[in-house]
Structure 1
Amino acid sequence: MKHKVKVTVLDTKLYPEYQQQYCANPCSGKCPVYNQGDEFFFYRDDERDDYWNCGLDTLVKTDGKPDEIAGGPKKPFCTEAWDAISRYIYTGLQGGSIMRGWMKNENTMITCCNDGTRPVIFKIERIDYD
């Protein structure tokens, strides 16, 4: 059995009060590199290794401009997002349980990036196939 991982951007949040209080640019706004609904597929097999390439060219769906999306054809995943989600992607690509006992389905995880003033919420799903 083979495994691939689908990553979907569920939401992008903004906490302007924290940006005003703590950020060098107090009006930096929402995350500029992901959009709600963006979808990515990760494979790790004899033909490609999207994990090793930090998600470069894994974007399969967006309402934005693909060249501006992290994970699109010209950009690897944002480092803050990658730091937060890469372990779940790796686990899924190896066929492991992403979050047994916490989520309703052990092949799914809901998590977010580390940016406290404008976090991006991700759904990560292990998909098994032949």
Structure 2
Amino acid sequence: MNIVKITVLKTTLQEDLAEEYGIDNFTTCPMLNEGDVFYADYAKPDGFCDEAWKAIYQYVFALAHGAGEGLFYYNDWIKEPGVAIVCCNDGLRPVIFKLEKTDIESKP
């Protein structure tokens, strides 16, 4: 099993939905910032959002265990092997992540 690099690509805000459904002064994710980098295998990294982890862990787990040697999902998704672009499930302020398989072996 290898370590997966998780990079925060974007923190977004669906302004129309936030205006209609969010609390006053609703902003982008308060926990994660663009450019943040985390490393994981099967366990949530320290400081990583619990809800975001629940949304992306299956991709992290798959990459850590060798998926992505080729291209994900029948070659019709991401053009670079060993990479996945995923997001958390916050409908008002989704955070978009880049997951990259590394050559770093995981330690138990």
- TM-score above 0.5, yes or no: yes
Residues 20 and 27, structure 1, Cα contact 8 Å, conserved in 2: no
Moved over 3 A (4+): none
Q: SS of the residue aligned with 1:96?
A: coil
Code of the aligned partner of 1:55: P
Residues 85 and 113, structure 1, Cα contact 8 Å, conserved in 2: yes
1:99 aligns to what? 72
Q: Relative contact order (C-alpha < 8 Å, sep 6+): which is higher? A: 2
Question: Normalising by the residue count of structure 1, what TM-score does the alignment of the two structures yield?
Answer: 0.69
Q: What is the aligned-residue RMSD (CA, Å)?
A: 1.9
**How far does residue 80 in structure 1 lie from its aligned partner after superposition?**
2.2
2:55 matched to 1:80?
A: no
Structure 2 unaligned segments of length 5 or more: list them.
none
CA distance in 2, matches of 1:18, 1:38: 25
Question: Normalising by the residue count of structure 2, what TM-score does the alignment of the two structures yield?
Answer: 0.81
Code of the aligned partner of 1:19: A
More helix by share: 2
Which one of the candidate residues 84, 87, 105 is aligned to 1:109?
84
1:20 aligns to what? 19
CA distance in 2, matches of 1:104, 1:16: 30
